[in-house]
A = this chain, B = another copy of it.
Amino acid sequence: MKNILAKWESLCAASSVLRFVDINLRGIGQVMFQDNPVTGAIFLIAIAWGSYAAGVPQVAIAGVVAVIVATLTAQWLRVDEKSLASGLYGYNGVLVGLALATFLDPSTLLWVYVVLGAAVSVVAMLGTANVVKAWGSALTFPFVIITWLLLLATYGFSGLTGTALPSGSVVAPFQPYEANPLQLIDLVQGVFQSISQVFLKASGVAALLLLAGLAVNSLAAAGFALAGAILAVATAHLLGAESALITGGLLGFSPVLTAIALGTVFYRPSWRVAIYTAVGTIFTVIAQSALNVALTPFAIPALTAPFVLVTWLFLLPRQRLEEAAVAGVEKPGATA
């Protein structure tokens, strides 16, 4: 792996076209916090497969268009070179593109929307990073806020329609679903689709590709992603969530991101961190259900807002836990 990356890096150093490709692949990898072009390439294959298998190839195309527009916008705005080269100005763009093409019907205006949304996601990324720099990362907040605005606005525009959007209603008591006891196979499906839904896809093959993409850069990230998905599905099942949501991975994709973020990226690993991450992952399932409910009157999806909310909450006291880890009996492992 190291050899491949070294070879690729030397090629990129010699070619501005390859460098541009490199930045965009890293942008795709950063959706799951991986600054690695190989990871990004594998993720791109997963996206393509998921779109193709679901009969919506425009979704993958929108993702690619959006990440390119985001990178070009970041260059035009002359953001700092190091963050740009790490793909930090691309991951929100790719998600905006995937989400818009997933929830809205294809049309010329959809592509205007994709370009505009991807460009503004960079502005939102710069702004969010400014505000939250005291406690770390913008996470996918720019993606969430820009996509929410773009989707909400369509209810006032005849030029854009969204058949895949939820329908609006006021919050009502839980409607008991059909007594359809979950089999182990359903739970396993829920675990894998929790991983693939990070890229808005319900696909076991895509999930395996995503795990592979994580593993080539960080075994810990792949491990926490899988463990987070298992914990999320188990939590949702025990709390009595609707079966279709569990098996479709719709209560698990935010917890998967929380698990990777808290477990491997922002805190140095230790037992204390593992317990803290588990609590954060479980609470993300609750936040996902809560935001699904809270957004019901607005007829928009929660996207990864539960992940952003809970991870910010659990990151804010970070100094505390890190100092504690340093001061305490546990020896911190190698930094991620």
- A11 partner residues in chain B, CB cutoff 8 A: none
* Segment with Cβ contacts to B, from A152-160, A180-188, A216-224: A152-160
B171 adjacent to A158 (CB under 8 Å): no
B170 adjacent to A289 (CB under 8 Å): no
User: Roughly how many angstroms separate A148 CA and B169 CA in the complex, as a whole number?
Assistant: 19
Question: With A77-B321, A116-B282, A286-B150 as given contacts, are A241 and B157 in contact (CB-CB < 8 Å)?
Answer: yes
Question: With A289-B153, A289-B156, A293-B298 as given contacts, are A279 and B120 in contact (CB-CB < 8 Å)?
Answer: yes
User: Roughly how many angstroms separate A293 CA and B173 CA in the complex, as a whole number?
Assistant: 19
The reply to whether the CB of A324 lies closer than 8 angstroms to some CB of chain B is yes
Question: With A116-B282, A158-B176, A171-B297 as given contacts, are A316 and B153 in contact (CB-CB < 8 Å)?
Answer: no
- A169 partner residues in chain B, CB cutoff 8 A: 170
B119 adjacent to A293 (CB under 8 Å): no
Q: Contact flags (1/0) for A258-294 with B, using CB distance below 8 Å?
A: 0000000000000000000001001100110111111
Q: Contact flags (1/0) for A202-227 with B, using CB distance below 8 Å?
A: 00000000000000000000000000
- A79 partner residues in chain B, CB cutoff 8 A: 320
B286 adjacent to A153 (CB under 8 Å): yes
Within 8 A of B (CB), among A125-142: 126-128, 130-131, 134-135
B290 adjacent to A153 (CB under 8 Å): yes
The reply to whether the CB of A189 lies closer than 8 angstroms to some CB of chain B is no
Question: With A116-B283, A320-B126 as given contacts, are A290 and B148 in contact (CB-CB < 8 Å)?
Answer: yes
A157 adjacent to B240 (CB under 8 Å): yes
- A279 partner residues in chain B, CB cutoff 8 A: 116, 119-120, 123
Question: With A171-B155, A172-B168 as given contacts, are A77 and B283 in contact (CB-CB < 8 Å)?
Answer: no
- A170 partner residues in chain B, CB cutoff 8 A: 168-170, 297, 299
Tell me whether chain A's interface is mostly helix, strand or loop, or mixed.
helix
- A320 partner residues in chain B, CB cutoff 8 A: 77-79, 126
B124 adjacent to A313 (CB under 8 Å): yes
A173 adjacent to B155 (CB under 8 Å): yes
Complex partner residue of A313 from B123, B283, B291, CB under 8 angstroms: B123
Complex partner residue of A135 from B130, B156, B283, CB under 8 angstroms: B130
User: Roughly how many angstroms separate A123 CA and B323 CA in the complex, as a whole number?
Assistant: 15
A77 adjacent to B174 (CB under 8 Å): no
- A176 partner residues in chain B, CB cutoff 8 A: 158
Within 8 A of B (CB), among A236-264: 238-242, 245
Question: With A168-B172, A313-B127 as given contacts, are A158 and B290 in contact (CB-CB < 8 Å)?
Answer: no
Say how far A78's CB is from chain B's closest CB, in angstroms: 4
The reply to whether the CB of A53 lies closer than 8 angstroms to some CB of chain B is no
21 pairs across A/B with beta carbons < 8 Å?
A120-B313, A123-B313, A123-B316, A124-B313, A127-B313, A127-B315, A127-B316, A128-B316, A130-B135, A130-B316, A151-B290, A152-B290, A152-B293, A152-B294, A155-B174, A155-B289, A156-B292, A157-B240, A158-B174, A158-B176, A161-B173
Give the top 7 A-B pairs by smallest Cβ distance, nearest first.
Answer: A127-B316, A126-B317, A158-B240, A159-B240, A152-B290, A168-B171, A156-B289
